[in-house]
């Protein structure tokens, strides 16, 4: 498989690999308590933002050495979130997807547009067989988004994850290449 050329463009967005300068904009988003609540990480500080961005920068090709594709979502040149896709089974072409969007940009279909574009790339360019998304069951916006992009709810695990001092439920969504038509 050949490396995809970025940015990936949609009607309103540009998706591109992370750059060191993204630490400021993404730290602001990942530090929002209502965003961090549903993520595995604690709210980002300036230091953790720089570390996380440095870790994401080389992840620019599913078929590259990292087995991951992590893209910043930009609207009008401003970073408003990111979408991450990583292989969970390279041999069988299975991956997981995750996303974060600035709540100030919510309700406009921007996350849906970005995730759809990455799923299209996953199946059409990278020939993945299956993509899953796992999320905190309290994250109703992400569950709604997963459904909106054609993912099917496959599981609801009750109190299966200890996160930030409490047991949480996990929802699992999945979509197959054969679902794309």
> Could you give the CA distance from residue 59 to residue 67 in angstroms, rounded to a whole number?
7
Question: Model pTM?
Answer: 0.95
> Could you give the CA distance from residue 135 to residue 148 in angstroms, rounded to a whole number?
15
Phi–psi pair at 97, nearest 5 degrees: -125, 145
> Could you give the CA distance from residue 86 to residue 89 in angstroms, rounded to a whole number?
9
May I ask the CATH architecture of the domain 8-179? Answer: 3-Layer(aba) Sandwich (3.40)
The structural domains of the chain, with segments of one domain joined by +, span: 8-179
Give the pLDDT confidence of 90-108 residue by residue, as tens digits: 999 999 999 999 999 999 9
Give the pLDDT confidence of 30-63 residue by residue, as tens digits: 999 999 999 999 999 999 999 999 999 999 999 9
């Amino acid at each position: 498989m050949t490396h995809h050329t970025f940015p990936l463009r949609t009607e309103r967005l540009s998706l591109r690999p992370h750059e060191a300068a993204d630490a400021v904009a993404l730290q602001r988003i990942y530090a929002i308590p209502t965003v961090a609540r549903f993520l595995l990480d604690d709210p980002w500080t300036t230091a953790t933002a720089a570390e996380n961005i440095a870790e994401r920068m080389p992840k620019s090709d599913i078929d590259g050495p990292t087995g991951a594709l992590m893209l910043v979502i930009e609207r009008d040149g401003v970073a408003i979130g990111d979408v991450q896709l990583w292989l969970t089974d390279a041999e069988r072409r299975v991956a997981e997807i995750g996303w974060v969007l600035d709540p100030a940009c919510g309700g406009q279909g921007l996350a849906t547009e970005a995730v759809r574009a990455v799923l299209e790339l996953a199946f059409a360019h990278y020939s993945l067989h299956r993509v899953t998304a796992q999320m905190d069951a309290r994250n109703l916006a992400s569950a709604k988004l997963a459904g909106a992009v054609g993912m099917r709810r496959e599981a609801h695990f009750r109190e299966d994850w200890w996160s930030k001092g409490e047991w949480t439920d996990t929802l699992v969504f999945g979509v197959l290449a054969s679902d794309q038509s």
